Amino acid sequence: MNSIKNNLESIIASLPANHTVTLVAVSKFQAPELIKEAYNAGQRIFGESRVHELSDKVKILPADIKWHFIGHLQTNKISNLLRIPGLAMIESIDSFRLLELVDKEATKLNVLAHVLLEVHVAQETTKFGFETDELIEWFQNKGYCNLTSVHIHGLMGMASNTDDENRIQADFRKITECYNKIKRISTDLLGFDMLSMGMSGDYLIAIKEGANMIRIGSSIFGERGY
């Protein structure tokens, strides 16, 4: 069986040498000992999808880990999430209501929330996220000017859950187009430069389509213990 260290090394070796891609190791449902193994192999950024699980893990794992929240965030958990030391990024802001509530709560706590906006392009209807059109319109109207305690760093997205590589590529391309459009129309928006897309099965396609952040779980840790 491959070790976590070997898995990490082969993923890193598979990344193109000509541009920088940040690897988020998705450790949701994985035991802390396995996360420690990845940490000992040099990995410092981890992704979790549940606030309670994240807050338990933070207590027992090294303090220099940067945690990314990647799951659907329930509004009653916002405050708890923002209080977690080591929280570096909320990648899954999936509605304007959630964005506003995170801003409000961050203001109350006197912290700056670093976030990505989650775009929905996949064919599955159950996933959360913004439609590309509504997001572009919001940026055109400078909706972000009303935010005081949130820094929007970029976009996060997922491709359809399919074996059809053309469909996956088209999905990623749509997210990248949206990202580039926002950059073009929002010239006053500083530090909007992260495009998080690509998971174990499709990260190479995502990078080809412009991703500079990938979120990989099962290819590092093996199947999750759901």
Q: Which of 11, 25, 26, 121 lies at the binding interface for ligand PLP (CB under 6 A)? A: 26
Residues 6+ apart with CB under 8 A from 223: none
> Hunting for tokens 């929002």 — which residue is that?
186
- The burial class, CB within 10 Å (0-12 / 13-18 / 19+), for 162 is middle
Q: Point out which residues pair with 195 in neighbouring strands.
A: 155
Q: Which of 114, 120, 153, 215 lies at the binding interface for ligand PLP (CB under 6 A)? A: 215
Closest CA to 199 of 190, 207, 188, 189: 207
218 binds ligand PLP (CB under 6 A): yes
Binding segment (CB under 6 A) for ligand PLP, from list 79-87, 146-154, 165-173, 212-220:
212-220
Give me the least distance between CB of 74 and ligand PLP, in Å please. 15
The single-letter DSSP state of residue 124 is -
- The burial class, CB within 10 Å (0-12 / 13-18 / 19+), for 187 is exposed
The answer to whether the CB of 93 falls within 8 A of the CB of 75 is no
Residue with Cβ nearer ligand PLP (28 or 120): 28
Letters for 169-208 (x = contact with ligand PLP by CB under 6 A, - = none) are: ------------------------------xxx-------
Q: Which of 70, 90, 119, 175 lies at the binding interface for ligand PLP (CB under 6 A)? A: 70
The alpha helices in the chain, defined as continuous H runs, are 4-14, 32-40, 51-60, 78-82, 96-109, 132-140, 165-185, 203-208, 218-221
25 binds ligand PLP (CB under 6 A): no
Which H or E run contains 196?
strand 194-197
Q: Which of 27, 30, 49, 212 lies at the binding interface for ligand PLP (CB under 6 A)? A: 49
Give me the least distance between CB of 26 and ligand PLP, in Å please. 4
Give me the least distance between CB of 68 and ligand PLP, in Å please. 9
Residues 6+ apart with CB under 8 A from 160: 121, 122, 123, 124, 167, 168, 171
Give me the least distance between CB of 224 and ligand PLP, in Å please. 7
Give me the least distance between CB of 147 and ligand PLP, in Å please. 23
Q: List the interface residues with ligand PLP, window 98-137 (CB under 6 A).
A: none
216 binds ligand PLP (CB under 6 A): yes
Q: Which residues bind ligand PLP (CB under 6 A)?
A: 26, 28, 49, 70, 199-201, 215-219
